[in-house]
């Protein structure tokens, strides 16, 4: 479907998007879309890595357990980092 679009149709679509959202909102929307794509990509990599069999499964008993692994959306972006195995607190009424 996207291959059938002519240049005039693409310009009209861009113009409608600009009219609907305004020029000030578009950079924020693109930034959040890119951030979401990075998060999705890192989560998919983590899932693939979790599915691979570990090379050494026998850990010595005297070693402490490994720290919780974190997934970052982008290098240096600490606001979106979260522990993978973090227990969520429950609220009681």
Nearest Cα to 72, choosing from 82, 62, 64?
82
Q: State mean pLDDT over 3-15.
A: 89
What pLDDT digit, counting tens, does each position of 19-78 carry? 998 888 888 989 999 999 999 999 999 998 887 766 555 555 566 656 666 665 565 555
- 42 CB-contact burial (10 Å; exposed 0-12 / middle 13-18 / buried 19+): middle
| Run of H or E including 39 | helix 25-51
SS3 content of the chain, % helix, strand, coil (to 5): 50, 5, 45
* 65 phi and psi angles, rounded to 5 deg: -65, 150
Whole-model pTM?
0.41
């Amino acid at each position: 479907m996207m291959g059938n679009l002519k240049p005039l149709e693409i310009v009209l679509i861009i113009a409608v998007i600009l009219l609907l959202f305004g020029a000030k909102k578009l950079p924020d929307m693109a930034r959040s879309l890119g951030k979401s794509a990075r998060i999705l990509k890192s989560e998919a990599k983590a899932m693939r890595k979790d599915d691979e069999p570990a090379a050494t499964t026998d850990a010595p008993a005297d070693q402490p357990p490994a720290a919780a692994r974190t997934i970052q959306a982008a290098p240096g972006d600490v606001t979106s980092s979260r522990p993978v195995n973090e227990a969520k607190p429950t609220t009681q009424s």
